[in-house]
């Protein structure tokens, strides 16, 4: 079915309908997301189960619509800010498996929307109602599962501020997912000392949240209250005695629990912040030291790429080597979110892409490598053996067109018998990111000490620095986690694909994306020594005629991993 998103209509239309049969409202958001059913509604918005029409399997997702029903300009403005803030937080927290992934955030028909991952499962409030109170073992497992998630968001300087059973969903495999970051805030050193918005759910919010001063320990408090509620199946207000000024939750336990768990929970829910756990690390330390707790809890670190023996060096003769690095296969989100500084519509919609393993040049092709291959017999076109303006054997070759780069690959194929070619755009971005989701593979900002670009300009919180006004020797700056160098700046790198104005209809694998127009321009990635840092982002795309060359343009080659 197709649910109309117009709050004044709400008609459920037949599947595949493009416009509401009652009010004429457009049913597809961003021409791809179709609401199927209303699954939630509150004072400031509605939530829909939805599908992504651009995916063959039409996987489920969630649409959140900002639809305020409260009155008052200040209230509405704050609600709108919180809605946008939720999109920012989801995007910033990246691809943690226990936080919903943000797919899109935009405005359509005058209303704000965000689209995020659908978490298939029940929240803990629903489970408590259907299955009854939790056992001690279930609480230990809950802490083991969720504390590392809290550690992760706190390291990202974010406080959730609304942890409660309704905001914790249990997947079908038992894994817990923390949802609803609408109340989350940055926890910078300045913000922690400033009174802000009073926010949080009554009964679960820490006392300091009542005066607008949430801290990291506020989330620990809320998680502790969630645990005693699940243990007793009694509302938090009844578990605290006003007359005694203390928690009396043990009086409501259906079964006794261990002293060790009781001590951990007591310290989590201390009203006085000085007597409460100050950090997740302190909670984990006590739990890991408990003789009856489950196996040691550790905060998972992002998986590191495994470099294997399939990397190799091609001998081009006369001491010239070409290093090829093995890039393991995987899935990533291609493109930039709307919240990324300097991003463009050509970098959207973001979409999931699965890449097969391949090999990629450790550096952009150097002048020494170019000269070695240019001496080889012609395949389709002549090559200038020394085209570069900025001379240096180990500087990247520049002033080469797309056709020149293809000829280089063709000659190398004939010499070695291996399938060398230009990378597809998807392969290039996957290799550049190396598992990261930030604008650059080394983080959210960039400085001239990390890459070669026009240092007169800044990005994010970066600082100005040296503008070198020329290329630099390859490998002069830090590599990414795959061991690749110079992907940000130095020279733009040609890709095999034709240019498309955005990612509508883009492949979901490493396929080279061609168009029917043979004269279509070709893709360049990575920025150059001449450009400001925004052009050096992992997601940035540029296009030019295939026969155009300039002192900003070079290339990097790839090779199939199958021959190994």
Domain ranges for the chain, please list them: 2-117, 121-289, 312-560
Q: Which segment of 264-278, 359-373, 484-498, 518-532 scores lowest on mean pLDDT?
A: 518-532
Residue with tokens 């965000």: 114
121-289 shares the fold of 2-117:
no
Cβ contact 235:203 at 8 Å: yes
* pLDDT above 90 for 209: no
Q: What CATH fold (topology level) applies to the domain 312-560?
A: 3.90.1580
Q: How many CB atoms lie within 10 A of CB 419?
A: 14
User: Does 64 count as an annotated binding residue?
Assistant: yes
- Rounded to 10 deg, the angle between the 280-289 and 216-232 helix axes is 50
CA-nearest of 100, 220, 105, 202 to 159 is 220
**What is the rounded distance in angstroms from the CA atom of residue 209 to the CA atom of residue 214?**
5
Q: Token digits for 273? A: 């912040």
Largest Cα–Cα distance in the chain? 93
Residues facing 366 on adjacent strands: 396
For residue 176, give the 3-state DSSP assignment: strand
Total residue length of the chain: 564
Residues with a catalytic annotation lie at: 162
Average pLDDT on 293-317 reads: 58
Phi, psi (deg, nearest 5) at residue 319: 80, 5
Cα gap 37→46, rounded to integer Å: 11
Do residues 379 and 522 touch, judged by C-beta distance below 8 A? no
Task: Determine contact, residues 268/221, Cβ cutoff 8 Å.
Answer: yes
pLDDT of 102-159, one tens digit each?
Answer: 888 888 887 888 888 888 889 999 999 999 999 999 999 999 999 999 999 888 788 8
Asked if residue 373 lies in contact with residue 404, where contact means CB atoms within 8 angstroms, the answer is no
The answer to whether the CB of 86 falls within 8 A of the CB of 184 is yes
pLDDT digits (tens, 9 = 90+) for 3-52: 998 888 888 999 888 899 999 999 999 889 999 998 877 656 788 999 99
pLDDT digit string, tens, across residues 376-394:
999 999 999 999 999 999 9
Our CA dihedral for 207, 212, 217, 221, rounded to 10 degrees, sits at: 40
User: How far is Cα 342 from Cα 542, in angstroms, rounded to an integer?
Assistant: 13
| Topology of the domain comprising 121-289 | Transferase(Phosphotransferase); domain 1 (1.10.510)
The closest alpha carbon to 539, from 338, 327, 363, belongs to 338
Distance CA 493, CA 522 (A): 11
Contact 522, 425 (CB under 8 A): no
Which CATH topology does 2-117 take?
Phosphorylase Kinase; domain 1 (3.30.200)
SS3 of 494-538? EEEEECCCCCCCCCCCCCCCCCCCCCCCEEEECCCCCCCHHHHCC
Q: List the strands of the sheet with 121-123, edge to edge.
A: 121-123, 168-171, 176-178
pLDDT of residue 309: 41
């Amino acid at each position: 079915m197709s649910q109309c998103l117009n709050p004044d209509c709400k008609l459920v239309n037949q599947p595949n309908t493009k416009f509401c049969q009652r009010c004429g409202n457009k049913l597809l958001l961003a021409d791809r997301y179709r609401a199927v059913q209303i699954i939630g509604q509150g004072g400031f918005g509605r939530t829909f189960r939805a599908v992504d029409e651009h995916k063959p399997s039409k996987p489920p997702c969630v649409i959140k619509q900002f639809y305020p029903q409260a009155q008052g300009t200040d209230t509405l403005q704050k609600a709108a800010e919180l809605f946008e803030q939720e999109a920012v937080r989801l995007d910033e927290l990246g691809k943690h498996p226990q936080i919903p992934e943000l797919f899109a955030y935009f405005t359509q028909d005058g209303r704000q929307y965000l689209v995020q991952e659908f978490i298939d499962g029940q929240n803990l409030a629903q489970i408590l109602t259907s299955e009854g109170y939790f056992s001690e073992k279930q609480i230990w497992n809950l802490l083991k599962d969720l504390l590392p998630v809290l550690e992760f968001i706190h390291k990202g300087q974010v406080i959730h501020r609304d942890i409660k059973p309704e905001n914790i969903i249990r997947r079908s495999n038992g894994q817990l997912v923390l949802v609803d970051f609408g109340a989350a805030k940055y926890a910078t050193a300045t913000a922690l000392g400033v009174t802000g918005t009073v926010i949080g759910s009554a009964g679960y919010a820490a006392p300091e949240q009542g005066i607008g001063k949430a801290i990291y320990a506020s989330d620990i408090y809320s998680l502790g209250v969630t645990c005693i509620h699940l243990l007793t199946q009694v509302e938090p207000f009844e578990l605290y005695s006003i007359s005694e000024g203390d928690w009396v939750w043990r009086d409501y336990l259906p079964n006794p629990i261990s002293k060790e768990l009781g001590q951990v929970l007591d310290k989590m829910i201390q009203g006085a912040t000085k007597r409460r756990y100050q950090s997740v690390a302190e909670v984990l330390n006590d739990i890991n030291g408990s003789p009856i707790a489950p196996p040691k809890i550790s905060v998972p670190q992002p998986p590191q790429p495994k470099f294997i023996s399939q990397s190799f060096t091609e001998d081009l003769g006369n001491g010239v080597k070409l290093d090829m690095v093995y890039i393991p296969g995987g899935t990533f989100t291609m493109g930039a979110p709307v919240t990324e500084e300097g991003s463009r519509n050509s970098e959207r919609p973001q979409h999931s892409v699965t890449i097969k393993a391949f090999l990629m040049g450790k550096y952009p092709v150097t002048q020494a490598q170019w000269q070695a291959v240019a001496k080889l017999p012609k395949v389709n076109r002549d090559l200038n053996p020394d085209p570069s303006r900025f001379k240096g054997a180990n500087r990247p070759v520049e002033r080469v067109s797309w056709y020149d780069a293809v000829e280089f690959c063709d000659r190398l194929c004939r010499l070695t018998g291996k399938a060398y070619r230009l990378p597809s755009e998807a392969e290039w971005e996957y290799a550049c990111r190396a598992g990261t989701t930030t604008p650059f593979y080394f983080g959210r900002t960039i400085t001239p000490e990390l890459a070669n670009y026009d240092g007169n300009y800044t990005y994010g919180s970066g600082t100005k620095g040296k503008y070198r006004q020329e290329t630099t020797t390859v490998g002069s700056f830090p590599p990414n986690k795959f061991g690749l160098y110079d992907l940000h700046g130095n020279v733009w790198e040609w890709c095999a694909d034709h240019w498309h104005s955005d990612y509508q209809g883009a492949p979901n694998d490493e396929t080279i994306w061609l168009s029917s127009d043979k004269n279509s321009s070709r893709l360049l990635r990575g920025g150059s020594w001449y450009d400001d840092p925004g052009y050096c982002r992992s997601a940035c795309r540029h296009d030019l005629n295939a026969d155009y060359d300039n002192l900003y343009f070079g290339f990097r080659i790839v090779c199939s991993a199958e021959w190994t």
